[in-house]
A and B are shown apart, each in its own frame.
Chain A
Amino acid sequence: MTPYRDYSEKRRLLASGELSLVENVEAFLARIEERRSLNAFTSVFADEAIEEAKRVEKKIADGSAGKLAGMVVAVKDVLAERSRPNTCCSKTLEDFVAVYDATPVKRLREEDAILIGRTNCDEFSMGGSNENSAFGPARNPIDETRVPGGSSGGSAVAVAANLCDVALGADTGGSIRQPAAYCGVYGLKPTYSRVSRYGLVAFASSFDSVGPMAKNVEDVALALGVIAGYDENDATSADVPVPDYVEAISQDAKGLKIGLPKEYFAEGLNAEVRAAIEGAAKALEELGVEIVEVSAPHTDYAIATYYLLTTAEASSNLARYDGMRYGRRAKGERSLAETYRASRTEGFGEEVKRRIMLGTFALSAGYYDAYYGKAQKARRLVREDFKRAFKKVDLLVAPSAPTTAFPLGEKIDDPLEMYLQDVYTTPASLAGCPGVNVPVGADAAGLPIGLQVIGDHFDEAGVLRLAKLIGERVGGARSSAE
């Protein structure tokens, strides 16, 4: 659909004048319009995007353009963009407009990316199907009766359906990797603290990670290089040098030693997904990559641990939506306590309320040690699993999700079923490790299958290098949505 494979080619075409940026942006806008049924965006800034395109074209012409000049980016509706709605797909923030730029957004702007619109997601990033959105679900472009995954569903859809070049997502327990898997695109959850969280609306602060999604590894690497790095506005952001990821992925990945954690291939994994991942591993082996089986014995505890800790943090993070200073306030004369109750009852969806209640309970006096305290200990054990594994191998390969995209409505009334979708993504989230989804073919119904590469802390370069090798040599199914 686009007359270029990746951004570097786009930049060449823009520089040579073979591609008009304004026309390119107009084409994206037209496609967004055409594919409205996907419900990928919560807001689109058509006029501003065209104005931006004109401005950036001039900069490209005079040689002052930034690294991402003209890259058309969609931003998940949980990252603050100054003067734009920041709804988090929640009724409570439906009229809220951000007053500042999130750091990743600011860094994209500084490199002349064009921020075309804000993407649909599960309310406050809580969900794995994009069905928990005040704007209704986004739809999977490969099969519109199916979910795109979540919570960064709209971002995955926008990339898969060619509605932008790159999208920013946010991943707390799989919210980038799982929708990337369901929609057949690349999606990277960086190491926790690699990308500043300043301006990312908090769901679970010790997990939340911002990362890029794209149709190719190169664009993921390029965008990551721009958004990563220390930020004085985020005390938890890491002061660790940012390597040149684009350069890093051009290096050979064949010497790497890869582990397959056996616990990820146990009961519950769909046979076709298993076959695709194992097939990919075999293909890697044939390329000369060393593959060994490793064990991550605490994987079984990941889901329970993840849901205790993230709901606990969420119960506190979402306390600010009380209708007092901004956001939705219930109409009518009420006492203070009743105003809180009514505003939050109206403003939050079912899943958000469920998690607030779970988390409140987990932190309550008398239960703290048994739930939150214990979960913190379990988190350490999961982290140690990874530490041990990365003493033996460079990277891990696993499925991104146990199945391919499921039909809309199938799991929405069964929260536990829904939570189990996160079984392969939550361990790396608990450990703070980077993970990327790599599309590796499709099931019999033509639905994309996702392979996950997990790396040690700050080894995004290794993760992306292997992702590139798999994508190029093992055979990633390009999204049929194009």
Chain B
Amino acid sequence: MIEQEFLGRLEELLEKMPEGERKDILYDYEEHFQNGMASGKSESEIASSLGSPQAIAKEIMAGYHVAQATENVSVNNIARAVLATVSLGFINLVFVIGPLFGVIGVLFAFYVVAVVLVASPVLMLVAAGMPSEPTGILAWIFTSMVTVGAGSLLGIGMIFVTRWAGKMFLKYLQFNIRIIRGA
């Protein structure tokens, strides 16, 4: 009865996982119960020494989401991995959210610079008006070519940097789970 309750609860909490993996995990706990009873323990003893299904499910889901995101790097997957890791405990909130905002802030700043560089020819016109003499127009064209070129290169570079930063951050999440839960 208690075993069924425990396994049922765990199964519910793991419903977001693919079925095969979930069955695999549930089997481990079933085996644990049966081994425990074979050595003469009661179901409630075994269940209480296992700990709560919630705690176990959080642990499993955090590992799962990080693995998912590592395989397929996307904003969505990373967000899920961050949430799952944070839900493991308050310490993670500090160690995950802090660096996350730091990284996002720096990336954002570089994107802003790239956009400003690309837009600068227009900005120059707005600020100084259309230059009247030919040398002014030439100067404007040349500075525009330089800033637009630099801006687009920076923007393209930033896309790669962002992808790389996402991957590094996932590594950091894995490291976090390992440290806090103790390997």
A binds B: no
